[in-house]
Amino acid sequence: MDNDVRPRRWTESIADGHGSGFDKKEIRPYVETTSQASQPSKWKGPTYYGRSQLKAAPFNNYVVGGYIFLAGLSGGGAIVSTLAEAVRGERAYGVGRRGRYVATLAPTIGALLLIWDLHTPQRFYNMWRIAKGTSPMSIGTWILTAFIPSSMLGAGAQVLADVLPGAGWLKPVARWGSAPSAITGAGLSVYTASLLAATSTPYWAAAPRSLAVRFGASSLVSGSASLVIGERDPATRDALNLILGGALAVELAATIAHHHEVKKKGVAEVLKTRWGRIERFGVEGLGILLPIGLHAASHLVSDRKGKAALSDLAAIFALAGSATLRVAALAVGEESARRPDISFRFSQPENLPG
Amino acid sequence: MTMVEFDVSPRARDYTQSTLKGLIPDESELTAGCLIEPGKSYGFFTDTTVCIGCKACEVACKEWNNLPADEVGLTGHSYDNTGALSSNTWRHVAFVEKKQADRAAAETGYGVRENEQAAFQSGWLMMSDVCKHCHHAPCMEACPTGALFKTEFDTVVVQQDICNGCGYCVPACPFGVVDVSTTDGKAHKCTLCYDRLKGGLEPACAKSCPTDSIQFGELSDLHARAKVRVEELHARGVTTAYTYGAPGDPGSTGDMQYLNAFFLLTDRPEAYNLPAAPTRPSNRVKPALAAGLMAVAALALGAVAAFAGAPRHGQ
């Protein structure tokens, strides 16, 4: 009998071969191996009747994903249209005007989607009970709250300027009123990624930074794409397309980085599921690479109408890709929480920070 | 004949009658050997080596908290027909029947018991799972309404009159404990019998546990008791015994610090459906926000350059 009475941690008892119930061959690699490269891609140790230790978020992915898309669209639209007016002045009035309308989507439809997804929607106002830095949902509540006055003032003045004869004096009100929403719009564009990252759901928690860059870039993709459609001034249109292309390139780079990090943390298996494929081929392929390709193709077309049609098509795909990214990211995350081969692989000590 | 000495509070002699007129003041002193006072840290120490799987804790919890039954049926998973913690189930007894290694099982068929086992409950493990009442509770840190809060007993409770069922606490929990009820649309989990603690009563599960597998008490006392128990088990040859959730243990990893409800286990955490190395989710808020905002700022600068570079006049 072992006379050593020192307390032993489970890691020690496995490492030195003690431990009755352990199959050394099966378990040792998970504890001892430090090199990431030799880690298996999923958990192969014991599970409790194939159950995950986690619970998946009780979100309706289309509703919450729809909100995240609209938040990004409104935030990104506010940023790009405000900058357009600030730099190009009167020539970008059309962009500014459409940007103010786009920015109303998150406070109106977006907020309704959020309330709809609550399981006790009649208590939505409790979101304003507190402000809490550890909860991105609370941070987001206050960002959205701060976004509302400026975006609604801008859009309200814009509606009056558009419909009332002789209300041209309201144009500066709309322009200056909506300007602060470019600042809050930045928060609105990215806090949703922080909301997902600050959970225990493996796919969301695996790589907070690259996920947030993906979401931020995708917000500017959708914002600029929504402004491209219908823009008549060719110079402004080219500038918007340039911004859209840049944001798509950043999103592509962040997507590659995100998937690489997710793989390093042992969560990549979830990308082989149905929603994982949608995330890879639908978002990366149809939502990013195809619009980039269409832009490249539009440079080869000399006919101005053809150019505009191609860039409109690119913008539509980019918008669809941005929306799909949000729904797919939610669905892939929930799948990663449901699967013990992924959830236990993710919660191994080598994934600890620091 | 030898007299068995029990560690009984002398106050027990004050209550010899079978029917009492009312509550015994500070009853926990008699049943758990500790006074319940606001400002101190309380928790559970669940020693799985003495759990007999009677499920008295599950029943006591359901009775005291008026919780409805979950699915009534058989799972085929040993004696566990509860499955997991849920909005209606705040104690869950896990039954682990150790089988031969998967390689051998693939040849001989699953469900074959280990025929070479070390002594002492190495073949059949039972554990009463519960909310861990984490020191840095991820559910509470995630809660946007403040419905989840830390009580004066250092436990974590959902205020049912405030929760609006956003469900964000559910993915925040590293242990899959909190659950949103489809019946009333609010988040529910173990309250560590907050109402009983206020009345000086030991939590229902701990009081009902016939083997003292579930021990309620002041956290520092429980840590000391657990340490002694692990040493005692090691001395008796159960070298696999370790605590999960005490400071420095598996379960207290990634800035979780410690869990107010902690466990003594004899197999890998995963065998009991526990994560080996959970992390504190709120530590990911700032990195994500900072990286995202920096990307947006960089793209905004690019946008300024794009607009500035576009021709101002003509085509």
CATH of residue B239: 3.30.70.20
Indicate whether B301 belongs to any domain: no
Name the one residue in this structure whose structure tokens are 């759901």. A201
Residue A346: the pLDDT is 96
**Which tokens belong to A129?**
């009970």
Residues 140-199 of A with CB under 8 A from B: 141, 186-187, 189-191, 193-195, 197-199
Is A8 in contact with B278 (Cβ distance < 8 A)? Answer: no
Residue A44: the pLDDT is 86
Residue A24: the pLDDT is 32
How many beta carbons lie within 10 A of that of residue A129, not counting itself? Answer: 16
Of A8, A208, A333, the CB nearest to B284: A208
Interface membership of A54 toward B (CB under 8 Å): yes
Residue B7: the pLDDT is 65
Do B262 and B43 meet the contact criterion of CB atoms below 8 Å apart? yes
Is A120 in contact with B98 (Cβ distance < 8 A)? Answer: no
Confidence bin at A11 (pLDDT 50/70/90): very low
Indicate whether B300 belongs to any domain: no
Is B242 in contact with A10 (Cβ distance < 8 A)? Answer: yes
Indicate whether B296 belongs to any domain: no
Task: Give yes or no for residue B45 having a pLDDT over 90.
Answer: yes
Of B270, B303, B307, the CB nearest to A344: B270
Please, what sign has the CA dihedral across residues B286, A262, B179, B183?
positive
Task: Give yes or no for residue A175 having a pLDDT over 70.
Answer: yes
CA distance A275 to A293: 24
pLDDT digits (tens, 9 = 90+) for B91-133: 999 999 876 555 555 555 555 566 666 666 667 899 999 999 9
Indicate whether B18 belongs to any domain: no
Select from 3.40.50.10090, 3.30.2390.10, 1.20.1630.10, 1.10.287.3610 the CATH code of A61-351: 1.20.1630.10
- Domain assignment of residue B196, given as a range: 36-283
Is B171 in contact with A194 (Cβ distance < 8 A)? Answer: no
- Number of domains within chain B: 1
Is A235 in contact with B279 (Cβ distance < 8 A)? Answer: no
* Minimum CA–CA partner of B118 in chain A: A20
> What ipTM was assigned to the predicted interfaces of this complex?
0.91
Highest mean pLDDT among A302-306, B267-271, B302-306: B302-306
CA distance A80 to A239: 11
pLDDT digits (tens, 9 = 90+) for A253-279: 999 999 999 999 999 999 999 999 999
* Minimum CA–CA partner of A6 in chain B: B231
* CA-based nearest distance A166→chain B, Å: 27
**Which tokens belong to A9?**
């941690």
Top pLDDT among A163 and B314 is at A163
Residue B12: the pLDDT is 81
Indicate whether B313 belongs to any domain: no
Do B294 and A194 meet the contact criterion of CB atoms below 8 Å apart? no
* CA-based nearest distance B1→chain A, Å: 31
Residue B216: the pLDDT is 97
Name the one residue in this structure whose structure tokens are 């990215």. A190
CA distance B309 to B169: 47
User: Across the A/B interface, how many CB contacts are shorter than 8 Å?
Assistant: 349
User: What would the mean pLDDT of B14-42 be, rounded to a whole number?
Assistant: 92
CA distance B278 to A353: 11
User: What would the mean pLDDT of A141-164 be, rounded to a whole number?
Assistant: 97
Where in chain A are the domains?
A: 61-351
Do A315 and A220 meet the contact criterion of CB atoms below 8 Å apart? no
pLDDT digits (tens, 9 = 90+) for A311-351: 999 999 999 999 999 999 999 999 999 999 999 999 999 99
